Chains A and B, each alone.
Chain A
Amino acid sequence: MISFLILIGIVICFSAILALALNFQWGLGGMVNFGLTGFYALGAYSSALLMLKAGANTFVAALGAMAIVAAVCGLVAFVTLRVTEEDYFAIVTLGVGEMLRLVALNEDWLTKGALGLTGVPRPFGAAIPPQYYQYFLLALAMTLLLATLWFLGRLARSPFGRLVRAVREDDVVAATLGKNVLWVRVRIFAIGGAIIGLAGSLHGFYYQYIDPTQFSNIVIAYAFMAVIAGGRGAHRGAILGAAIVMLLLEGSRFLKDVIPALDSDRLAAIRVIMIGAGLILLLIYRPQGFFREYRLRADFK
Chain B
Amino acid sequence: MLQTAFNGVVTGVIMALPALAVTLLFGVLKFPNFAVGAMMTVAAYLAFALNAQLGWPLAAATVAAAVAMGALCIGIDQLTFRPLRERGAITLMVASLGLGFILENVARFAYGNTARSFAIELARPFRFADVRMNHEQMITIAVSSAAMIAMWVLLTRLPMGRAMRAVADNPSLALVRGIESPRVIRWTWFLAGVLLALGGVLIGMDRALEPPMGSNYLISVFGAAILGGLGSPLGAFVGALVIGVVSELSTLVIAPNYRIGIPLLAIAVILVFRPQGLFGQPYIRR
Binding site for B on A (CB under 8 A): 26, 32, 34, 79-80, 82-88, 90-92, 94-96, 98-99, 102, 105-106, 217, 220-221, 224, 228, 265-266, 268-270, 272-273, 275-277, 279-280, 283-284, 287, 293-298, 300-301
Interface contact A91-B89, CB-CB below 8 Å: no
B88 within 8 A of A: yes
Instruction: Please give the residue numbers on chain B whose beta carbons come within 8 Å of chain A beta carbons, in ascending order.
Output: 31-32, 34, 80, 83-84, 87-91, 93-95, 97-102, 104-106, 108-109, 112-113, 172, 218-219, 222-223, 226, 255, 257-258, 260-261, 263-264, 267-268, 271-272, 275, 285-286
9 interchain residue pairs of minimum CB distance = A279-B98, A293-B88, A276-B102, A276-B101, A297-B285, A269-B105, A276-B98, A269-B109, A269-B108
Q: Indicate if the CB atoms of B109 and A297 lie closer than 8 Å.
A: no
> What is the CA–CA distance of A91 and B223 in the complex, to the nearest angstrom?
9
CB-defined contacts of B268 to chain A, threshold 8 Å: 79-80, 92
| B-chain residues with CB within 8 Å of residue A284 when the two chains form the complex | 80, 83-84
What residue of chain A has the Cβ atom nearest to residue B284's Cβ?
A297
Chain A nearest CB, measured from B82 CB (Å): 10
B260 to A: closest C-beta gap in Å: 6
Asked if A294 meets B94 with Cβ closer than 8 Å, knowing A94-B34, A106-B257, A273-B105, the reply is no
> Per DSSP, are chain A's interface residues mostly helix, strand or loop, or mixed?
helix
Give me 19 A-to-B residue pairs in the complex whose CB atoms sit less than 8 angstroms apart, sorted by A's number: A32-B94, A84-B271, A85-B285, A87-B93, A88-B226, A91-B222, A94-B34, A94-B218, A95-B264, A102-B258, A106-B257, A224-B97, A270-B105, A270-B109, A273-B101, A273-B102, A277-B98, A283-B87, A293-B90
Besides A221-B97, A266-B109, 20 new A-B residue pairs in contact (Cβ under 8 A), listed by A number: A32-B90, A83-B275, A86-B90, A88-B226, A91-B32, A91-B222, A94-B219, A95-B223, A95-B260, A102-B257, A106-B255, A265-B113, A268-B108, A269-B109, A273-B101, A273-B105, A273-B109, A283-B84, A283-B91, A297-B286
